[in-house]
Structure 1
């Protein structure tokens, strides 16, 4: 599976041939450098390790500098492995946004925006308990009964309750590539992708 590391720039919209306005996300995809080639003989599996976004020298250490110097590059902030890469690549090769073509579909993964501790209405779409009448004054966003009694005398795992929301790895599948701007390393995909602006994203074919 081929792919690149990128950075989410933000959202915009494009008009298609029928005049319909399509919401889309702009991603700075690459250039990425092949920082390690894993093989079945040495590592037990085949994979391509690629790095994106240069790291400042003061933020690196000798171990990282030695690893990345083998590829003839500086230390990178984001490093990802892709198994079963479609094309053959050597250490130090540069991968650009030209890996993708307009019209094909990609999967985009990133860490979603963290929303902190949230209640059941925002987190799970609960409707609250009843209405504001009949003596109820503080039940509009309450979870209601969770079903436990003297048996089982515990809350089952997975019960939908209030808790931390967001901040998890999310993958959005089958986003169509609307435009590839190779001179600026930009990829425009239809729809929204997870993460905040300037968040690292992983684009897979």
Structure 2
């Protein structure tokens, strides 16, 4: 759970991070220990006061039984993140650290009917196939093949009730140091590093 002092990003910005990287951990209470499933989650901004998360998990997953009972769940999204070396700072006199984005969503879960689940599985597939030059579509499967696979999963909606986020990109560091890290990350071939560089420039200290 994020400490209250760490809630440093707006709800809209947090939703943007979710859309940028849908990979998430869905966490729910169980009898002895919490259950956690890693799964891609889509965002429907048009449903619910704060939006709705949409996903699915394997029907054989023990967490599926918990989700059937409804109630509140926690969904954790890890946005771009990177290790920052002291060698990146002009004075080389800073401690090693991590720059990162994390978004935590609380919501109420309900299960989807089969038609709704299929619609969202198709949208999820399209989301990941969009940049594939040889893109695949569910329509390449037979109806029997689709039906068989649909029976093996459980689709769910999570109506968002609270959003918390933390963006740590050197906001408290001197401007020169923050920009030095941004310059290093901007030259990376890793898209997450470039995204962090953009955030540093947007959130960097205005003096210091």
The normalised TM-score by structure 1 is: 0.26
Where relative contact order (Cα < 8 A, 6+ residues apart) is larger, the structure is: 1
The normalised TM-score by structure 2 is: 0.25
Larger Rg: 1
Select the structure that is richer in helix: 2
Select the structure that is richer in strand: 1
